């Protein structure tokens, strides 16, 4: 074992020991803090302590000092800080949105934060997911986020849930919290969280970010617990009031496919935390993003708000006579998976698919005319590609299909490739549907895409 490997192992052992000690310290501190915040103050000591210092609430000395800058705000004050210290917030997604949102909630003193994420930290996350570091690669995102939040504020309770949230476990987890922050990146989870918030009668603060744009709003707001509301019967729209049916899967983008500038989810996540804080301290719906959606355009750095439709009296989820009374199988309803990394389409028959090692053998042959068609976007193609590949982006295939069929008919073999082996199947299927049967067997798709190529053939090929 060389010196580098020895040092890496020693550092890993030290980190493990440090993590265990930090966890022990956190548990001791947290138990002490919770007792301080939940133990009623004796009447004769309500206003003065043993040194003669006057207090107007139940906040201990350390809390006044630590949170003084926000206690000074008239909208928060001592009473608002006490509410923050007792609040319980569930954050679904420890990624680009969940990281900044949880940082500011932890910093503000929210008493309990739950973080749900099934994924592990990948190097491609770190440019925007600010709770994770290089040393956390392959570590559970929920655990990594929780550890960092405890280092920011050891006086709050942080509970990581390293699981895929679904209809079998969501109710049990979310029932322990007062607010849900939707920091997820897929449609099934959005509908799951909406129905969950409606059934539990707690608000859902929903954010999204993609490329250079972001959105933010609050669903499922109820006024009955807020004395500052003029209309105590007011209820805001839920997600289904605005989007009754899921969009087609092909119309939904993702950060891994379409990209995202790191500060964009940072902006939206920070604003999610702000809306949560405002809700906790008692702002009325007119001061919150209820029936309004905030739109952020990073290209020209502008914000605008659009009015959303009010609550639908016939909504399937939140009406007085709902048809959705229990959590559903949302992947089936939305016709797409909630775990993008597990997406593995099976469109083509086995005879039209090829393994990376087999493709490598074909590319080494000089007696065949082989056409290697890369259907990724142009930026991806320019970032890295297999030598000799030509670029026909999937979104432009329909417009060049006739030309492409002509080229294929002149070749001995054609292989479609993409990042994971999904878009390449779609493109190949479009060609197979229009090309003559005598050419169909020479059309192949690379199983597993360029990720599999990197794993089995060329480990120097970047995986992103």
Query: What residues act catalytically?
Result: 255, 418
Q: What angle do CA 220, 226, 229 make, to 5 degrees?
A: 90
Integer Cα distance of 441 and 432 in angstroms? 9
In three-state secondary structure terms, 296 is strand
The owner of tokens 């878009």 is 423
Distance of CA 25 to the CA centre of its chain: 30
CA distance 292 to 273: 17
Both structure tokens of 398: 């329909």
Of the candidates 3, 276, 4, the residue with the CA atom closest to the CA atom of residue 113: 276
Up-side HSE of residue 342: CA atoms within 13 Å toward CB?
9
Site of tokens 């028959």? 349
**Triad 89, 255, 380: Cα angle to 5°:** 165
Q: Is 165 left (phi over 0), alpha (psi -120 to 50) or beta?
A: beta
Between CA 184 and CA 115 the distance in angstroms is: 11
Helix (H, G, I), strand (E, B) or coil at 212: coil
Helix (H, G, I), strand (E, B) or coil at 186: coil
Q: In what order do the strands lie in the sheet with 413-417?
A: 353-354, 443-446, 413-417, 370-374, 390-391
HSE at residue 287, side-chain half, CA atoms within 13 A, is 16
Question: Where are the extended beta strands (E) located within 260-384?
Answer: 292-297, 302-307, 353-354, 370-374
As given in the structure block, the two tokens for residue 68 are 């003084």
- Spatial strand order of the sheet with 302-307 comes to 157-161, 112-116, 88-92, 179-182, 204-210, 213-219, 292-297, 302-307
Task: Please return the burial class of 66, using the count of CB atoms within 10 Å of its CB with bins 0-12, 13-18 and 19+.
Answer: middle
Q: At what angle do helices 141-152 and 98-108 cross, to 10 degrees?
A: 30
């Amino acid at each position: 074992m060389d010196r580098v490997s020895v040092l890496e192992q020693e550092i890993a052992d030290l980190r493990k020991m440090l993590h265990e000690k930090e966890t022990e310290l956190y548990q001791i501190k947290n138990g002490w803090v919770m007792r301080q915040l939940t133990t009623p103050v004796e009447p004769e000591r309500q206003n003065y302590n043993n040194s003669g210092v006057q207090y107007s609430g139940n906040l201990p000395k350390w809390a006044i000092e630590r949170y003084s800058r926000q206690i000074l705000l008239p909208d928060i004050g001592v009473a608002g800080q006490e509410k923050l210290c007792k609040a319980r917030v569930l954050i679904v997604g420890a990624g680009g949105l969940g990281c900044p949102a949880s940082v500011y909630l932890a910093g503000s003193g929210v008493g309990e934060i739950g973080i749900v994420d099934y994924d592990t930290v990948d190097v491609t996350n770190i440019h925007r997911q600010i709770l994770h570091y290089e040393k956390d690669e392959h570590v559970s995102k929920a655990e990594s986020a929780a550890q960092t939040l405890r280092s920011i504020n050891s006086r709050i309770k942080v509970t990581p849930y390293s699981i895929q949230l679904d209809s079998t476990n969501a109710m049990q987890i979310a029932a322990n919290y007062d607010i849900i922050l939707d920091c997820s990146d897929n449609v099934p989870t959005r509908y799951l969280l909406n129905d969950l918030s409606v059934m539990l009668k707690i608000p859902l603060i929903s954010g999204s970010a993609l490329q250079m744009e972001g959105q933010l709003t609050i669903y499922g707001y109820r006024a009955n617990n807020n004395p500052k509301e003029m209309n105590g019967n007011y209820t805001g729209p839920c997600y289904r009031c605005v989007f009754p049916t899921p969009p087609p899967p092909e119309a939904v983008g993702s950060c891994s496919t379409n990209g995202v500038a790191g500060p964009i989810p940072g902006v939206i996540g920070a604003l999610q935390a702000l809306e949560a804080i405002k809700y906790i301290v008692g702002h009325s719906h007119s001061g919150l993003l209820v029936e309004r959606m905030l739109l952020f355009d990073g290209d020209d750095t502008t914000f605008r708000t659009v009015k959303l439709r009010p609550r639908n009296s016939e909504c399937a989820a939140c009406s007085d006579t709902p048809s959705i009374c229990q959590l559903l199988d949302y992947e089936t309803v939305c016709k797409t998976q909630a775990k993008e990394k597990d997406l593995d389409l099976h469109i083509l028959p086995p005879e039209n698919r090829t393994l990376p090692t087999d493709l490598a053998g074909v590319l080494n042959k000089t007696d065949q005319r082989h056409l290697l068609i890369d259907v990724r976007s142009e930026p991806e193609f320019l970032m890295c590609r297999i030598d000799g590949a030509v670029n026909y982006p999937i979104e432009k295939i329909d417009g060049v299909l006739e030309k492409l069929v002509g080229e294929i008919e002149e070749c001995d073999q054609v292989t479609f490739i993409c990042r994971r082996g999904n878009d390449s199947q779609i493109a190949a299927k479009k060609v197979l549907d229009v090309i003559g049967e005598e050419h169909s067997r020479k059309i192949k798709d690379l199983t597993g895409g360029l990720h599999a190529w990197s794993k089995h053939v060329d480990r120097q090929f970047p995986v992103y």
